[in-house]
Amino acid sequence: MSQDDASLEARLEEQEAFEPPESFVEQANVTDPGIYDEFEENWPECWEHAADLLSWDDEYDTVLEDGNAPFYEWFTGGRLNASYNCLDRHVEDGAGDSTAIEWEGELGETRTYSYAELLDEVGDFAATLRNLGVDEDDVVTLYMPMIPELPIAMLACARIGAPHSVVFAGFSADALATRMNSADSEYLVTCDGYYRRGDALDHISKTNEGLEGVDHEVSDVVVVDRLGDDLKHDLGDNQHDYDELVADHEGSSVEPVSRDAEDMLFLMYTSGTTGQPKGVKHTTGGYLAYTAWTSHAVLDIEADDTYWCSADIGWITGHSYIVYGPMALGTTTVMYEGTPDYPDKDRLWEIVERNEVDIFYTAPTAIRAFMKWGSEYPDQHDLSSLRLLGTVGEPINPRAWKWYYTNIGDEACPIVDTWWQTETGGMMITTLPGVNIMKPGSAGPPLPGIDARVVDAQGEEVEAGQAGYVTVNNPWPGMLRTLYNNDERFINEYWQEYSDEEADKWVYFPEDGAKIDDDGYITILGRVDDVINVSGHRLGTMEIESAVVGVEGVAEAAVVGGEHEVKGEAVYVYAIPEDGYEPTDDLQERVVDGVLDSIGPIAKPEDVIFTPELPKTRSGKIMRRLLEDIASGNDLGNTSTLRNPEVVDDIADQVSSD
């Protein structure tokens, strides 16, 4: 480290609050601090600001319908089409030639789609889907990596009013089957494979394996040919080559189907505390208005910007902030197929420089990796086009925040640390970059119109500095409407804890711990349920446990998250071998494979620890907290309340000797 770097670091270490840079404020979309009061005084009508960012076929009658809470309805009576809003209207407004998608393939090839070209592609594929028999409200599953055909397929579904259910391409065959079964989805769009670190990766075999687990008839499977000669494969009876099908419909245009504001736009599965993932339902009007609004107010996106969110579209971040929000605003959205360290660790910065990216949105896990690799990688590139940085997915530690601020933003870009969830549809707690000061490590105040609080177990607001739980005390347009086909679980998961049903007072519980300071800034402390956040992705411990106990030779298992330098949390498996089985390397490998098969590489255990017993309380509950501490290498404190305290030392010895 040079003298300069060292003194800079020393100075930053001390600094707890940062003013938004003047150059940013001068041009920001939102600069008036009065917006907080304005939204509060004028709630829920304030949300017309969000709806105004869209084109409606029919104006809505009511902003919020709360007669059947917590089944809230937004912009009722309104009709619109999401693909029209993301494409046609920009072309009609004369922006047909401006770039919609700037795609960067992993091997270095690029594809650019103008709004007019993208509209054509979407029209062709919408006609194709309709011709296959896809009707309004049929759920179409999209199992694809970061290739342009994924957003094209999403918008084509939206165009004909068929909800999509995107399954992250890194998920396993089992995960695909579970989601298709849960959604009764009869149509699938997938691809033959994709590139990772230069290697061709087979995706179609995994797809086919997944299809074997689907419990109903699948009418059609459309397969994008991404790998050409790099992967030869045969198409099954009901499988079609994407290009061939689309060629038959070239030049077809499908009129966008006018949808009710409350019609489902898509389903997105997320992990919960049971083995069964939750199908989060988002709607056409409220979701699109909310993602457009937050893209405008928080990400500061304008039509002539080049904006890049490095998430995968297979997660909610990509839905809301690669596709729907940015494209509703008519901006250029960058899509990158590959990994950040291929061919070298400066790949992302090379993409920022070449595309003159204005706004960059990523995850703390990525920032921690960049930090580990060192500032020489961003230093090789001119990043001066950047004006705003964002993070999402997990708490960001102040050190990583400051590294990002200095080394990527050159102290000239505000950082928005955006707290939200699959269920919230869009950002909920974060600073407005042209208004608020930033406090590294703290997401910020709730956005205007959002009544988020930090409360104790009784629902009373905690004092500044005390830890409590996040609650949201009023509805918002981007909220989930229900869990697919499971209203009961929707109520139980999110509304049970703090609501007062008699008083018709409904409080949303996101299951996150937090602190609040005197300025109302909320610092998120992490999940309070049995969910692990690995690299910004939610994984249910139950889901992983059921994969582990499914392995021959395993009697019982507990899965917990342990601290990890880059991933935030990593998966640790504690397993008891069945009688007659030894804790061998072979069993360990089979446990890892079991998790990979049932979920995917993202859930790969960091370690599998065999133990003859699990630490249990006197009432027989597994002490997960203790296992987490062992995995994280923390001080274990008093274990005397355990039924079997001796087992703790055994386990801890094993972990530290690994």
CB nearer ligand WT7, residue 295 or residue 418: 418
Residue 532 interacts with ligand WT7 (CB under 6 A)? no
CB nearer ligand WT7, residue 263 or residue 394: 394
226, 237 contact by CB (below 8 A): no
Choose the stretch contacting ligand WT7; rule: CB under 6 A; options: 126-134, 251-259, 387-395, 590-598.
387-395
Strand partners, 281: 267
Residue 421 interacts with ligand WT7 (CB under 6 A)? yes
Phi, psi angle pair for 652, to nearest 5°: -60, -40
Q: Give the chain's end-to-end CA distance (angstroms, integer).
A: 32
Min dist CB 504 to ligand WT7, Å, is 26
Of the candidates 394, 395, 431, 427, the one whose C-alpha atom is nearest the C-alpha of residue 413 is: 431
Min dist CB 200 to ligand WT7, Å, is 29
- Largest Cα–Cα distance of the chain, in whole Å? 73
Min dist CB 203 to ligand WT7, Å, is 22
Distance CA 448, CA 430 (A): 10
CA distances from 483 to 182, 266, 278, 422, 493 (A): 11, 12, 6, 12, 10
Residue 443 interacts with ligand WT7 (CB under 6 A)? yes
CB nearer ligand WT7, residue 191 or residue 335: 335
Residue 527 interacts with ligand WT7 (CB under 6 A)? yes
Choose the stretch contacting ligand WT7; rule: CB under 6 A; options: 13-21, 246-254, 382-390, 533-541.
533-541
CB nearer ligand WT7, residue 363 or residue 573: 363
The one-character DSSP state at 476 is: -
Min dist CB 525 to ligand WT7, Å, is 8
Residues in 30-89 at the binding interface with ligand WT7, rule: CB under 6 A:
none
Tokens 């109302």, located at residue: 520
Tokens 């205007």, located at residue: 448
CB nearer ligand WT7, residue 544 or residue 648: 544
Min dist CB 514 to ligand WT7, Å, is 9
CA 379 to chain centre: 29
The binding track of 534-563 with respect to ligand WT7, each residue x by CB under 6 A or -, is --xxx-------------------------
CB nearer ligand WT7, residue 284 or residue 533: 533
Choose the stretch contacting ligand WT7; rule: CB under 6 A; options: 412-420, 549-557, 610-618, 620-628.
412-420
Residue 524 interacts with ligand WT7 (CB under 6 A)? yes
CA distances from 151 to 122, 320, 375 (A): 9, 11, 33
Residues in 273-332 at the binding interface with ligand WT7, rule: CB under 6 A:
316-317
Residue among 65, 300, 358, 417 that touches ligand WT7 (CB under 6 A): 417
Q: What is the dihedral of CA 51, 55, 60, 64, to 10 degrees?
A: -20
3-state secondary structure 180-234: HHHCCCCEEEEECEEEECCEEEECHHHHHHHHHCCCCCCCEEEEECCCHHHCCCC
Residue 629 interacts with ligand WT7 (CB under 6 A)? no
Of the candidates 506, 511, 512, the one whose C-alpha atom is nearest the C-alpha of residue 71 is: 506
630, 648 contact by CB (below 8 A): yes
CB nearer ligand WT7, residue 534 or residue 652: 534
Residue 432 interacts with ligand WT7 (CB under 6 A)? no
Q: Which helix (H) or strand (E) holds 22?
A: helix 22-27
Non-local (6+) Cβ contacts of 530 within 8 A are 273, 540, 541, 542, 624
Choose the stretch contacting ligand WT7; rule: CB under 6 A; options: 111-119, 161-169, 378-386, 414-422.
414-422
- Count residues binding ligand WT7 (CB under 6 A): 23
Choose the stretch contacting ligand WT7; rule: CB under 6 A; options: 86-94, 129-137, 379-387, 388-396.
388-396
Q: Which residues bind ligand WT7 (CB under 6 A)?
A: 270, 316-317, 392-395, 417-422, 443, 510, 512, 524, 526-527, 533, 536-538
